[in-house]
Structure 1
């Protein structure tokens, strides 16, 4: 068969095969900062989508699919967001949005802020409220010792202080 009769791809039928991002089955609790981050991400993706809509290149069409997939995810996260004002909570127990200062058996002191799933950033001490560490800390008081169940083995953490949301 001659190549003259074979349809060349124009990018319309190119699919990267990537599925939509899975959405967590947990309630989407967010801090005020977390909600602002989600809304900012939607705005960024919307602007990128608008920019890509005018570009007919194959690469732009593939990138547009990725952006639209991300936009669907973040739109859903904004719609399902349950804002929680941690400043309205008392500071006597660990709660969503609190920053907790803990000491382990070796004397190492760490600070963790308990935040929404999309706001979590372990490198900056922000842990998701559904993480095993946050689950161990939630509802404890300063002076309590909690057990953090980890695959590497349980770890005892002594709660030194509970700080308000920042």
Structure 2
């Protein structure tokens, strides 16, 4: 079986200032903290003789490859992202960076923030702008009904609030 993987569709190039800061912090952690530590561990393991049976050496080299791959990705990604650090002119519509409160058919509310694909976190209520839910929300207004197709079927929501700065 070959190792070929078809190229993935590139995610949107937008990111919030918080998302950019998180990517830069990860890059710094990997390059300035973790990589030197792993490099030193590999150097020490290499002194112990036969490298083909040295687990510390083998796993250290594997971890270095993983770190280098992630560092390359982060450097490339940070060069191409566009930081969106201001609210849109029309704050009555859903755009990138908005906090959107939705109410479903059962009266239950949920809040999502529309963010870039590099920073989405469903547990934290951050929805990638490339997701079906976010695509259905973008451009909509307060009190609009939004229908989203999911694996369990279609679901309808009403937009009850749109914000561009966190409350509190």
Question: Is TM more than 0.5 here?
Answer: yes
Q: CA deviation at 1:63?
A: 1.3
Partner of 1:45: 30
**Once the 2 structures are TM-superposed, how far is the Cα of residue 151 of structure 1 from its aligned partner?**
1.6
Q: What is the match of residue 95 of structure 2?
A: 95
- 1:29 matched to 2:14? The reply is yes
Could you tell me the TM-score, scaled by structure 1's length?
A: 0.81
- Mean Cα deviation higher: 33-42 or 81-90: 81-90
Q: Tell which deviates more after alignment, 30-39 or 69-78.
A: 69-78
**Separation of aligned partners in 1, 2:134 and 2:26:** 25
Compute the TM-score of the two structures, normalised by the length of structure 2.
Answer: 0.81
1:59-87 Cα deviation digits (max 9, x unpaired): 32221111111111211211111111242
What is the CA-CA distance between 1:24 and the residue it aligns to? 4.7
Structure 1: segments with no counterpart, 5+ residues = 1-17
| Structure 2: unaligned runs, 5 residues or longer | 46-56
Alignment of 1:1-166 (within 5 A): 24-47=9-32, 48-55=34-41, 56=43, 57=45, 58=57, 59-166=59-166
In 1, the alpha carbon distance for the partners of 2:136 and 2:82 equals 22
Q: CA shift at 1:51, angstroms? A: 2.3
Secondary structure of 2:157 counterpart = strand
Bigger proportion of residues as helix: 2
Question: CA deviation digits over 1:28-76, x for unaligned, max 9?
Answer: 1001111111111110110211222233231322211111111112112
Q: How many residues align?
A: 148
After superposing on structure 2, the runs of 4+ consecutive aligned residues of structure 1 that deviate more than 6 Å are none
Q: What is the root-mean-square deviation of aligned Cα atoms in Å? A: 2.0
Contact 2:98 2:162 in 1 (8 A): yes
CA–CA distance in structure 2, aligned partners of residues 161 and 38 of structure 1? 29
